[in-house]
Structure 1
């Protein structure tokens, strides 16, 4: 599919399609009240139609408020908006999957979600209000729930019309294979949303996903926010990379715009998160130029297999996805 001036849609295996550029809404710290509403409304006004959220982010009520406001004033119709949400780890028990989805729909005050993902392959002790249940010593309480059983209920949510498409996030290729080999599989995951940027280019996982007609969606496509509570501040900063800056100078673009363009030329959906209006606009200005094959190859060459989001507190979970290479 060719690029338009301001967007491109990628076909999914179930017949639906997803905008290749979206706006992430994750706020690691609880955002100032009203900040997410304002960002979503501004995003729609400047042309974003794809918004990526999750129960875990704690602001789906404001995302929904922003979307509904722009529908109410006639800027967009519901069918113009593509919204992604995610089922949190404490809801992976088959008995809680539908409850998790209904919680999100109630927060958004929308009738359906365009794409619903299993947020992580790892289950935690079932809970409807505590994100990371702990024992008296502070250890996170795990669950051995089989995500294939979770998936079967996700399929029923699609059949019920509550979601248009279903997929996964943070799955490695072996875990994807487990889903694809389910004896009674009705719908295969349309996508796998993972950390992906020039320092973690995910080439092997991308090749696997493409061979199975699974779209790759890149979160943190510009690298880490360097928040020490979540990331190792000693990790290199993607946007300071001299190769990205050099290529950017040639095209009169920022390093961030080069990093995003690199991904969309690999048919990877990108969901950069910024509530800064200037950066939101800049991140959209990636459809008016093309990287050469040599430039894409040069960016491939700066890969460091550097993962910022590791969730190390769950490294001993039997379904921890990052022990495998991809």
Structure 2
């Protein structure tokens, strides 16, 4: 019964993450009009760290074990810190479609790095699903791209953001073998905030002049897409492979299209709609399992009981 409950909770946590990360694109666009990339990243991380710190105290969880700190520090620097600044900056240089297209190489990099550094398997269903989803992301990105809205600097920044995201996820995975999802997320967020402290002066100056709506969007980014979504991500990541979790994020472009349609009245074209459907179909394929009755234990790491996953192969 407990195993069945765990099987349901992990996909649910991944779904929460994907929905909240999709909503972040709208908030980043709004807050980015009043806050510079570094200031927005710092404000978001500070809000997230405060919420996570309170949760950590209420649950009575202390410092993570020593063995987890390497992964927490690397993911904090590369994902919470570098990725957020690079993405915020990149989205100011390119249109939304181009940004979404370039950043979506991240799941592919996660699968490759996971296979190389963590010993993760790359089953045919995962590869096929990622190929279908990436084709959908390309369709969405091209259909949303505007003329003259991109720059070489912006594309490079988005590509660097994707690399930081992928490396951060792969570094985080081993840490989850000995520390809880809340511990890994809280201290990763804190490390990212410390890395962004050089932007503190900008944040204070811009907060004084920013519209209330922009500041509220920054707080929302810290509380929900950061504190909550990164925790649910870590919970799900601890129970599956990095490649499979990365493939799940291909649902984000489809949800962004849907949210823009419902919230902003932006009716998507047929190409955009078709691309969104492909993204979701690819995620479904990559998350599915063979229907044969016997699945080799090595091919289903998400079914391994928690204590046995501490000795995960490789280190990041």
Relative to its length, the structure with more strand (as a share) is 1
TM-score, L = length of structure 2: 0.26
Give me the TM-score of the superposition, normalised by structure 1. 0.26
Q: State the structure with bigger RCO (CA 8 A, min sep 6), 1 or 2.
A: 2
Which is richer in helix? Answer: 2
